[in-house]
């Protein structure tokens, strides 16, 4: 799966994948407030639905098409949800999808990627991370023995981010450990998908902006700017722009 061209394309364009225990695809879409869009056979059908949606919206909104199907795993059936939303679509639904159960997701936003992993139980984030050495949640260290056994390298470098390893392969193995579902090319390509149109997230008050850029030399620039800082800079720029323009003539005194 990790080495397939299909997964490489998903990594390049950005994807989201979630596994939800004990909830049927139609009920998953209901919790996501998604509009059902019928069914289709295979991953090619999901890609076609995704491209048609993007053409119709001209890429101007954050709504997306998700595909879902049932797959057997640990303690019963799971619903697998797959999308090409650039990795931003699923996280907001995880608390609702994991109520009275378990949900696990991972994603990437493509490009210079932000790769996320989240494990939820009963609506609560148990372990989540972008960098495996910097974990959040109510039990951030519970999975550490399993992560080490799987092959995560949890030693920290000077930046506290951990060394450069194939973390995505380890995330796939960690997801399988928590769900009993092995993700394969054949599984995703051969499934009969339920399609759902997931609406944009409602607008929310923002508190900060995160600038996270990796250059061609692989140097990473990361900075958080609070809303107060951004508003102060904006107010200063506006005040300067509104100042009268003084044009000095040849006889004007030197300032």
Q: What share of the chain is helix, strand, coil (3-state, %, to 5)?
A: 30, 30, 40
Statement to judge: residues 163 and 231 lie in one domain: no
Beta-carbon contacts of 224 under 8 Å, excluding residues fewer than 6 positions away, are 208, 209, 210, 211
The model's pLDDT over 175-186, given as tens digits with 9 standing for 90+, comes to 999 999 999 989
DSSP string, 71-105: EEETTEEEEEEEE-STT-SSGGGHHHHTTTSEEEE
Burial class (CB in 10 A: 0-12, 13-18, 19+), 104: buried
Statement to judge: residues 112 and 229 lie in one domain: no
Q: Evaluate whether residue 247 is within a structural domain.
A: no
Q: What is the pLDDT of residue 78?
A: 98
Report CA 215 to chain centroid distance, whole Å: 21
Q: How many helices (H) and strands (E) does the chain have?
A: 8, 11
Statement to judge: residues 59 and 110 lie in one domain: yes
> Distance between CA 95 and CA 126 in Å, rounded?
11
Say if CB 65 and CB 83 are below 8 A apart. Answer: yes
Say yes or no to pLDDT of 254 above 60.
no
Q: What is the pLDDT of residue 68?
A: 97
Burial class (CB in 10 A: 0-12, 13-18, 19+), 135: buried
CA atoms within 13 A of residue 58's CA, in its CB half-sphere:
1
> Distance between CA 145 and CA 9 in Å, rounded?
31
Domain range holding 33?
Answer: 5-198
Q: Evaluate whether residue 254 is within a structural domain.
A: no
The model's pLDDT over 108-148, given as tens digits with 9 standing for 90+, comes to 887 667 889 999 999 999 999 998 999 999 999 999 999 99
Q: Evaluate whether residue 227 is within a structural domain.
A: yes
Statement to judge: residues 187 and 212 lie in one domain: no
Statement to judge: residues 219 and 167 lie in one domain: no
The model's pLDDT over 203-252, given as tens digits with 9 standing for 90+, comes to 556 677 777 777 767 777 777 878 788 778 777 777 777 777 766 656 65
For the chain, the domain total comes to 2
Higher model confidence: residue 10 or residue 165? 10
Statement to judge: residues 138 and 229 lie in one domain: no
Statement to judge: residues 119 and 163 lie in one domain: yes
Question: pTM for the full model?
Answer: 0.74
Q: What is the pLDDT of residue 224?
A: 82
Statement to judge: residues 62 and 139 lie in one domain: yes
* Bridge partners, 48 (sequence order): none
Say yes or no to pLDDT of 18 above 60.
yes
Say yes or no to pLDDT of 155 above 50.
yes
């Amino acid at each position: 799966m990790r080495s397939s061209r299909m997964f490489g394309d998903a990594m390049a364009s950005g994807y989201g994948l979630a596994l939800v225990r004990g909830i049927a695809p139609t009920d998953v879409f209901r919790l996501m407030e998604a509009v059902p869009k019928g069914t289709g056979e295979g991953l090619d059908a999901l890609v076609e639905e995704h491209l048609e949606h993007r053409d119709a919206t001209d890429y101007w909104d954050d709504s997306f098409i998700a595909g879902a199907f049932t797959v057997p795993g640990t303690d019963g059936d799971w619903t697998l949800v797959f999308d090409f939303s650039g990795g931003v679509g699923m996280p907001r639904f995880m608390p609702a999808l994991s109520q009275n159960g378990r949900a696990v997701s991972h994603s990437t936003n493509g490009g210079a990627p932000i790769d996320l992993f989240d494990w939820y139980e009963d609506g609560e984030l148990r372990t989540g991370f972008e960098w495996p050495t910097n974990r959040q949640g109510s039990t951030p260290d519970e999975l550490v023995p399993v992560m080490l056994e799987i092959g995560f390298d949890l030693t920290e470098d000077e930046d506290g981010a951990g060394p450069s390893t194939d973390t995505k392969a380890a995330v796939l193995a960690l997801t399988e450990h928590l769900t009993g579902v092995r993700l394969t090319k054949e599984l995703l390509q051969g499934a009969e998908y339920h399609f759902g149109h997931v609406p944009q997230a409602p607008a929310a008050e923002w508190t900060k902006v995160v600038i996270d850029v990796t250059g061609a030399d692989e140097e990473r620039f990361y900075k958080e700017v609070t809303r107060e800082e951004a508003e102060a800079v904006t107010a200063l720029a506006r005040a300067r722009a509104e100042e009268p323009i003084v044009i000095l003539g040849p006889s004007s005194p030197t300032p």
